[in-house]
Each structure stands twice: as structure tokens, then as C-alpha cells.
Structure 1
Amino acid sequence: MAKARSAIVSSGPVGFLPVSITFFMAILMLLPIGSGASNIIMPHLVMISIFYWLSSRPLLMPYGACAVLGLCIDLWLNVPLGLNMLLLLLTRLFVLNQLKHYKGRNRAVHWGVFAVMSCGLYLISWILFSAIHSEFWPIKPVLMQWLVTAFSYAPVAFLLGRLRRWAW
């Protein structure tokens, strides 16, 4: 009976919830907050959402959704085309390969795994961005972005968990 209910939830309108929420987070991530005096760094909410949904329900976040979301972010942020798409696809590959090692553990382990994974992905993006522009870009903004994203994982994952429990 549990498998039948899971199949219904995965194929029904609730099955589109992770992709819809992640798309909403992409829009939220692009909102201009702060001012010239206080420039606030926005965490990479899409990476957090994709990691969370892949860790809990991997079938509901396919490769195509990760690629399209990454491409939309690339177009919206005016960064080299394919950079965020590559990062989100690498996130999916990482989670699917490492999920057996941390699934079922407490949320602090998930947070640590996300922090390590996102650090590696931000370093990859810094290397690619520097290679594309043929000069080393400053590493401090990348590290600040990683710190904000890593520390934002817990509250965002908490909210996503509440939403997941409410929907299912």
C-alpha cells in the first residue's frame, strides 16, 4: 500500500512540487535586496533546494529540471552560459552517488555534506570563471558566497521539510 501511495504522489500534481518550489526559489534568489550601502549576498537557494529534494525524493528532481533551472539562472544572472547548469548537474550527480552514505542520518550530517559539496562546486565555478576571462578573479567574494550559502542550508532545509510534510 505504501508503494502504491508513493507512486500516486510521485505522478500526481504533488510530484511537480519540488521543481515548482525550486523554480520559485530561483526567482526569489534574483530579487534585488539590500541597497548600495548594505549589499547583502543572496545564498544559492536553487542549489540548496536541489540538494534537499534529491536527498529526500531523488526521482522528483530529474536531470532535465536541473539543467533548465541552471540555464535560466545563467541567462538571468548574465554569467557564462552553462556555468550554473553545470553546477546543478554536478550537484545531482554528487547527491545520487553519495546518498547511500548519508541517507537516514541526522540533519547535521546533511548540512556538513552540503557544505563540503558546495565548497567544491564554488571552487570549480571560480576556476571556470577565471579560465573563461583569462585572469584570476578575486577569491574572497566566492568564499563569502559559499559561507552564506552553507549557513543558509539549515533554515531553508527546515522550511522545505515543513512544506514537504504539509504536502504529503
Structure 2
Amino acid sequence: MKPLSPPSLKPEIQPRSGLAHGTDLFVRHCLPCLFVLLVTLVLSAPLNIPGQAELMPAIVQVSVFLWSVFRPALMPSVAVFGLGMCVDLLSFDPPGVMLLVLLVVHGVGLSGRYVLARLNVFVLWLVFGVVMVMATAMQWVLCSALALHLVETVPFMFECVLAFGTFPVLYVIFVWTYRFIVNDANRA
């Protein structure tokens, strides 16, 4: 006769793992990448928004940085590579520039995440500002090198200011998204 196992100390009802539950978890974990892809698709359409060409890379870089710092499992390097390819294909930048810039921003966020995740929001905002200045400078240098002449710096400075300005708004949206949508799967 088999000995009976002791009852668990925390009896709770577990949801059945089925196709719907698996699909729900998959969509929740793909949500950051889907957001960046949706922003890329919407802002690459001719919407006649002032500064639209600079807004797309700014929002994409903020998104990649924030998710790389706080939840790098939801923004892996392979996904950043794919998103960089999509941004390069849908924007009018030289090919490969945004891909490299996004991978560098992802690498900075990933390598400093243990320190950056503990920082105050305002200090993190300033750190992102420094990262964005360096990324924008790298983007300008690469675009100038590929064009074989110095390109204008005004669009790149505007992109940097837009990214710095959209950081707090996207930070609030991502905190809400993480708390109520992405992390909600752990409560079920």
C-alpha cells in the first residue's frame, strides 16, 4: 500500500493549462515587442504628424531601454534584432543604423540593469538622457559615414529631445502594463 502524502500547506486552485491559457501567456509575454512593432507600423504610415520621422525611433528606443532594464526576458536580444530590422525596413534611415543603435541601447540597459532598476525615476530619466545623447550621436555618425558627407544634426537633436520627453509618459504606461497585464499571469 502506498503511503499517503501530506496535504499541501497552501491549498489553492490552479488553472488548467490548456490552449487558451498557453495563448494568453504567450501574448502577455510578447506584449512589449508587439507594442514596439505596432508603434513602428503606425508611425511609418503617412499620418502627417509633425516630427513623425523622429518620433518613431524615439519611442522605440525608450521602449527597448525600459523593458531591457526592468524585464529583459520580455525584450530578448533576438527580439531587439528583429525589431531593429523592422524599423530599418519601414524608416528612411540607412539600413542597419537603427538596428545597431537599438542593440547598443539594449546592451546598455541590460548590462546596467541591476543598478538602473534600483534608481529613482528621475535619476533613471537622466541616465536615459545620457544614453540617448550617445545613441543619437552614434546614429548621426553612422548616417554621415554611410552618406559620405555630414548630414544635418537638427533632426537627430530633435529625436533626442523627443525621446527624453516621451520617457516619463512611456514609463508610466509600461509600469501600468507590467502590473496589470504582463504580470497578471502570475496571479492566476
Match of 2:5 in 1: none
Match of 2:136 in 1: 122
Decide whether the 8 Å contact of 2:69 with 2:112 is kept in 1: no
- Which 10-residue stretch deviates more, 25-34 or 14-23? 25-34
Match of 1:99 in 2: 113
Aligned residues: 158
- 1:12 aligns to 2:16 (yes or no): no
Give 5+ residue unaligned stretches, structure 1.
Answer: 2-8
Counterpart-to-counterpart distance in 1, 2:45 and 2:92? 14
Change in Cα spacing, 1:67 to 1:136, as seen in structure 2 (3 Å) is same
Match of 1:40 in 2: 51
1:17 aligned partner, one-letter code: L
Give 5+ residue unaligned stretches, structure 2.
Answer: 1-9, 11-21, 184-188
What fraction of aligned residue pairs are identical, expressed as a percent? 23
Which structure's CA Rg is the greater one? 2
Q: 1:84 aligns with which of 90, 94, 98?
A: 98
Give 4+ residue runs of structure 1 displaced > 6 Å after superposition.
Answer: none
Counterpart-to-counterpart distance in 1, 2:68 and 2:46? 28
Alignment of 1:106-145 (within 5 A): 106-145=120-159
Counterpart-to-counterpart distance in 1, 2:178 and 2:73? 15
Counterpart-to-counterpart distance in 2, 1:62 and 1:165? 20
Counterpart-to-counterpart distance in 1, 2:42 and 2:175? 18
- 1:149 aligns to 2:163 (yes or no): yes
Decide whether the 8 Å contact of 1:33 with 1:40 is kept in 2: no
* TM-score (norm. length: structure 2): 0.76
Deviation at 1:18, TM superposition (A): 1.7
1:20 aligned partner, one-letter code: L
- Which 10-residue stretch deviates more, 67-76 or 21-30? 21-30
Change in Cα spacing, 1:28 to 1:165, as seen in structure 2 (3 Å) is farther
- 1:22 aligns to 2:33 (yes or no): no
* TM-score (norm. length: structure 1): 0.84
Decide whether the 8 Å contact of 2:40 with 2:90 is kept in 1: no
